[in-house]
Structure 1
């Protein structure tokens, strides 16, 4: 059963918790998942993330659909807010798409290693994983629960010039946040980032990709996404 069918989060939970009391916009949207290709990755008219920054309320539109995409017989999941990766890791592990305990390669402007308020005890029940992903986790704290459950033995974070030069061996899941291409990360060559990501995709057991609406212009993020798979 697929749990991503499109819904709003109205309470101050998950990604809707940020600056909730200060905001005029009190609701964010989580889109449905569908099988598709890169042409199906489109912007929605719904707000996926909202926060008050320096006294200004900033709202960001997310994707129309989350996409399950086959690339060279490999599963690729494309979504907007990054915490959804947790659900797709659990779903993929349950479907034997990767071996439990392999490495996680996390390419991101941010480390996303904050502590969640609570930890889920197992991932056997995908409905519970779905609820935990959407109502407990947020864009900054979804990796530690995966490590705590033993989904991955370790995480290698690629967020610097030095990290992009690392040689990665063995089996791994590749997790990409497209905000690595944001202006704040322009000190790392675009070509270095693009070439490394393409190389790692070829070697990965599974690929998860976040477009991160609050942290990078989404039209630009989608154009970069399409180049990654060109």
Structure 2
């Protein structure tokens, strides 16, 4: 698989047997969700768990044409026009995502989302609502690897692409295993590598390798998706 240092902005791969979509930059998550709906991997009105050091819950500018997505080509076109911080609201507008849950160390962005600062906070406050009527909903896990870099948000101008402060590998593996196994059976998983927010290519590669190991993807075949 391509090393992080060699990934361009449009790099993205899919592990078909597990419905896992991985991308360098997070705006492509919108495209993955729409393609997943078109491929019937998920149903419209999915529940989304967004695990990130940023809420990414800004509305796209009015000139971005978010409309019904009826083809993979259209999904990729819209995804390319979005930014890394405004891809969730468009998925609500298309109806692909209905309920948004978030885990991350940031202020709650809107009354329309459920927010927890940590995994344990989420389990205490929102798990019951999240798994309620689970037979009627599809479930999406959306993970940004910068969730494990404590410098991803604080003093961002000094830490862009450098100065990482990662959690211990033991903690990272523990959190990934909980997200993988302890909530629901995920219908679709999207993962953003976000190397600049991880502190650079080297720490991003470290986090990516841990993710691939925990989610048992090291020996899985993958395909490019657009």
Range of TM-score over shorter length: 0.5 to 0.7
Q: Cα deviations across residues 188-214 of structure 1 (Å, max 9, x unaligned)? A: x43552232222686111111110121
Q: Cα deviations across residues 160-219 of structure 1 (Å, max 9, x unaligned)? A: 2212554241241111111111134749x4355223222268611111111012101322
Q: Which residue does the alignment assign to 1:43?
A: 4
1:158 to 103, 114, 133: 103
1:190 to 151, 158, 172: 172
Distance 2:189 2:46 in 1: 13
Q: Aligned residue pairs: how many? A: 173
- The reply on whether 1:121 has 2:51 as its aligned counterpart is no
Alignment CA distance shift 1:200-1:127 (3 Å) = farther
Q: Which residue does the alignment assign to 1:146?
A: 91
Alignment CA distance shift 1:200-1:207 (3 Å) = farther
Distance 1:190 1:164 in 2: 17
Once the two structures are TM-superposed, the CA of residue 109 in structure 1 deviates from its matched residue by 0.9
Q: Which residue does the alignment assign to 2:158?
A: none
Checking the alignment, whether the CA contact within 8 Å between 1:174 and 1:200 is kept in structure 2 is no
Q: Which residue does the alignment assign to 1:82?
A: 26
Q: Which residue does the alignment assign to 1:172?
A: 139
Q: Cα deviations across residues 73-129 of structure 1 (Å, max 9, x unaligned)? A: 421111110010111111110111111102011111111001101351201133232
Checking the alignment, whether the CA contact within 8 Å between 1:164 and 1:192 is kept in structure 2 is no
Alignment CA distance shift 1:46-1:91 (3 Å) = closer
Distance 2:73 2:34 in 1: 11
1 or 2, which has the higher strand percentage? 1
* TM-score computed with the length of structure 1 as normaliser: 0.67
Unaligned segments of structure 1, at least 5 residues: 1-39, 49-62
Q: Which residue does the alignment assign to 1:32?
A: none
Distance 1:164 1:227 in 2: 24
Distance 1:132 1:229 in 2: 29
Distance 1:180 1:46 in 2: 20
Q: Which residue does the alignment assign to 1:229?
A: 215
Distance 2:205 2:48 in 1: 27
* TM-score computed with the length of structure 2 as normaliser: 0.68
Distance 2:213 2:72 in 1: 32
- The reply on whether 1:206 has 2:206 as its aligned counterpart is no
| Larger RCO (CA under 8 A, 6+ residues apart) | 2
